[in-house]
Amino acid sequence: MKRKVLYWCVASGLLICTAQPALATVFTDTYTTTGRYINNGAGTTSTLVAGGYKYGQAGDGVTKVSTITFDDWGYTGPNGTTGRQFVVNGTTGFDAAHVGQIQHVVTLRPDYLTPDATSTILGDYDNNPTYPNANMDGSANFYKWGYTGPGYDRPTSYAQVEAYRAKNYSSSSHVGSQFNNMNIDLAGNYSVAKNDMRFGYYDTFTYKTGSSAPVDTAARITFQPYAVSDATGWCGSVMASNPAAVEPMAGQLKFDFAFDVSIDGTLSGPNVVPGFEMRSWGTLNVNVWAGVDMQSFSSDAVVNNTDPNNTARWDVNADFANQVSFHGAGVIPDRVWATADSYEWVTDEYGDLVRQRKLNPDGTWAVTLVPQGTRDANGNLPVPYLNPFAGYAFILRADGIRLLDAMDFSAYPDTSNVLPGALANVQNLAPVPEPASMLLIGSGLAGLFAVKRRKSAASH
């Protein structure tokens, strides 16, 4: 059992009780990556390149073992749910009949306070120039390249926070990513539709070291992720005294995503990643081989409502109320398995029927991923798809702000750790009594009035 030590702190006149987890668990994912040789021509030496993450390549190869680890800092979710589980213990998943809160999260411009280790970043495309000791707060790692995550301007006033809550971002000079309509049931299970997750465009690396001013560099290899499945997971806000309380909170989501890569303006085929895990706490360490190259990078996500300057990780501070950071890591697999209806047959210019990817209205792939060998209702087997950037590792991370849109006030009556005004524009989801219950209430009142009338008559 994980022991939680209670301590007290005062922030902005608010008395806050928080739980500091202990006894961390480290989860490890192991990947067997197989480099493959490319023949450079007669009389020359073959070149070992990346590839072969899950399924071996034909021909010569060198097999190496790679790992991605997640340190949970001792934090567990509702009912002790771990970072390896995406349904709250004791439940069967999201309960749409008992929604306790609705929130949305948007990414913000980095403040360079999150205590990520610095990293040496190479210029994308040709690995030139080199950016040593780069501050990686809010940035993504892709192979040995870096990208600063898209984010809205950080709000500087209460009015701007409330505008963001109303999804009005007109005051921002930048565009970030959005995770809207994040429903959480009373047990803590998440449900987020894929169309409510909108990633920004990764096209810039902002280089900053120490106290130096950040310098933007345009990328040659650019991409924009998009969700291809709904997300499930859990949120630790149900363990707090109130979803709007200034207390430590964290959570996680799991979903499939894809991204098209543009190289100097020319699109390559999409890369598809199943089972992406995105968390708002903990430490990630990536050590993945790509051919003869080791891809090594790490990240930390600061627990919600805590001061990122404090390396002890649990320093609740009202000045950082609702501020979050989140991250997720993975390796692009060699191949994924798409349902047959992820494709369509069309007639090409020669009159032949050819199969092509079915597209959404915005031009992204309308793909559905399934395990290998899974037949659909018509008996069709899934179709294998080969990823162009197979074997490349990544970390996606961002700073953000969590905005509570609605909650069941009757389920969370304790507002002792809620900042003044924080619930002013939050919709009340408290259930309305059913008609039968209203009749019972009405008949009960009528009975009370009848008793009073009888007593009144008896007194005369």
For residue 327, report the phi and psi dihedrals to the nearest 5 degrees: -160, 165
Planar angle of CA 201, 135, 237, nearest 5 degrees: 70
Section 61-76 average pLDDT: 86
Residue 100 has pLDDT above 90, yes or no: yes
Residue 56 has pLDDT above 80, yes or no: no
How confident is residue 435, by pLDDT bands cut at 50, 70 and 90? low
How confident is residue 313, by pLDDT bands cut at 50, 70 and 90? confident
How confident is residue 452, by pLDDT bands cut at 50, 70 and 90? very low
CA neighbor of 91 nearest in space, from 248, 233, 255: 233
pLDDT tens-digit series, residues 116-163: 999 999 999 999 999 999 999 999 999 999 999 999 999 999 999 999
- Percentage, residues of the chain above pLDDT 70: 82
Lowest mean pLDDT among 138-142, 185-189, 310-314, 330-334: 310-314
Place of tokens 């005369």: 460
Residue 254 pairs in a beta bridge with: 232, 277
Taking the C-alpha atoms of residue 389 and residue 263, their distance in angstroms, rounded to an integer, is 12
Taking the C-alpha atoms of residue 86 and residue 81, their distance in angstroms, rounded to an integer, is 8
Residue 1 has pLDDT above 80, yes or no: no
How confident is residue 169, by pLDDT bands cut at 50, 70 and 90? very high
Taking the C-alpha atoms of residue 201 and residue 184, their distance in angstroms, rounded to an integer, is 28
Helix (H), strand (E) at residue 329: strand 323-331
pLDDT tens-digit series, residues 200-251: 999 999 999 999 999 999 999 999 999 999 999 999 999 999 999 999 999 9
Taking the C-alpha atoms of residue 305 and residue 320, their distance in angstroms, rounded to an integer, is 5
For residue 265, report the phi and psi dihedrals to the nearest 5 degrees: 90, -5
Tell me if 335 sits within 8 A of 385, measured CB to CB. Answer: yes
pLDDT tens-digit series, residues 38-49: 444 554 444 444
Conformational region of residue 393, where left means phi above 0, alpha means psi within -120 to 50, and beta covers everything else: beta
pLDDT tens-digit series, residues 379-426: 999 999 999 898 899 999 999 999 999 999 999 999 999 999 999 999
Average pLDDT along the chain: 86
Section 58-70 average pLDDT: 71
pLDDT tens-digit series, residues 316-327: 999 999 999 999
How confident is residue 433, by pLDDT bands cut at 50, 70 and 90? low
Lowest mean pLDDT among 33-37, 373-377, 381-385: 33-37
How confident is residue 434, by pLDDT bands cut at 50, 70 and 90? low
Section 172-180 average pLDDT: 97
For residue 425, the 8-state DSSP code is T
